[in-house]
Amino acid sequence: MENNSETKKLTITELKSMSPFQILEDTRVRERFVTLYNNIHNSEQGELFFEKEKYNLQRIIQASPNLAKCTGFSTYGVLLDIASMGLTLENASRPLIYIIPGSVNVGTKEKQTWEQRMSIEISPYGELDLRIQAGQLLYADRPVIVFEGDEFKPKVNETGQKVVVYSAAIPRQSKTIIGAFIKLTRPDRSFDFFWMLPEDIDRLKGYSLKKNQRKDKDGNVYGDANALYHSNEGQIDTGFLEAKVIKHAFKTFPKLRLGQFSALQQDEQVQASDYGLDEPVYNQVPQKETEEEAEETDVQEIAKQQGGVNIVENPEEPF
């Protein structure tokens, strides 16, 4: 291995000329990934982590023609974001991140030229992991789904502390969901609670409906809220609700500093880490041509990455 491979800057032009699979096999990319991971996470496991995530990303790209069409440039960025965040693509029951294809206009407004790029969508579970890494949390309990018949008293005590008094009814008296909550423990061992009630769920369902509704050429309105809001015998799916509770529990938390190729980064304008490129790169998340195409693509890709589940949450959905 030549020593100058560690210091030579990769050019964006060079990266764009490479396929996603060529990026994964490039020695310079591997070295940059390992160095970045080890430096950020104070670790010596960068090589092992690279090999694992290289395999995971290969598996995901091979299963997706849309991802296989994406540029080597975006593949490189996704890899470096994975190294920076330390989040795995392992196919788990609660995935931390997804890889999503999209299109970005690299031409002008008048003469548009669309380029396929992949980016990262961070799940609520991935966000939880990042907030623990950032020192904002010590840990979080798994969200609790509350059913009719359970004792459930969310309140704010005399000192302003949010607390939840909860006791499950055993045996279960009803399948009707009346709320959900999560306990968050801070690094100083103090704690906080966040809860959602039926009206909160209905409000989010209404936002989802509004976002998904479209008009055809005759002016007829069509579209529905995310199917997971009513897939559980007319109620919200419990796993979907758990993810929503986690996601909304962090609304008042400080903003996370994310990578340049991650979907949650929208207005961050700093170079978070040295990506070894010949020029600065800012906010490389693809912008889809239309909202309809964005939602359709995201759902299809996430379904594949969750082991073939047909109905899944669109991770870009803000509610």
In a domain, 112, yes or no: yes
In a domain, 145, yes or no: no
Tens of pLDDT, residues 60-81: 999 999 999 999 999 999 999 9
In a domain, 196, yes or no: no
Q: Is the pLDDT of residue 54 over 50?
A: yes
Mean pLDDT of 120-142: 95
SS3 content of the chain, % helix, strand, coil (to 5): 40, 20, 45
Distances (CA, A) of 276 to 7, 50, 59, 86, 312: 8, 17, 25, 18, 36
Task: Pick the most confident of 83-87, 90-94, 103-107, 207-211.
Answer: 83-87
In a domain, 300, yes or no: no
Q: How far apart are CA 236 and CA 244, in angstroms?
A: 11
- Weakest mean pLDDT among 30-44, 132-146, 193-207, 257-271: 257-271
In a domain, 315, yes or no: no
Q: Is the pLDDT of residue 295 over 50?
A: no
In a domain, 181, yes or no: no
- pLDDT for 263 equals 64
**Which residues are CB-neighbours of 185 under 8 A, at least 6 positions away?**
137, 138, 139, 140, 141, 191
In a domain, 127, yes or no: yes
In a domain, 14, yes or no: yes
Q: How many structural domains comprise the chain?
A: 1
Domain that holds residue 102: 7-136+254-282
Q: How far apart are CA 196 and CA 241, in angstroms?
A: 9
Q: Is the pLDDT of residue 275 over 90?
A: no
Tens of pLDDT, residues 196-207: 999 999 999 998
**Which residues are CB-neighbours of 217 under 8 A, at least 6 positions away?**
none
Q: Is the pLDDT of residue 253 over 80?
A: yes
Task: Pick the most confident of 103-112, 211-220, 231-240.
Answer: 231-240
Q: How far apart are CA 122 and CA 226, in angstroms?
A: 18
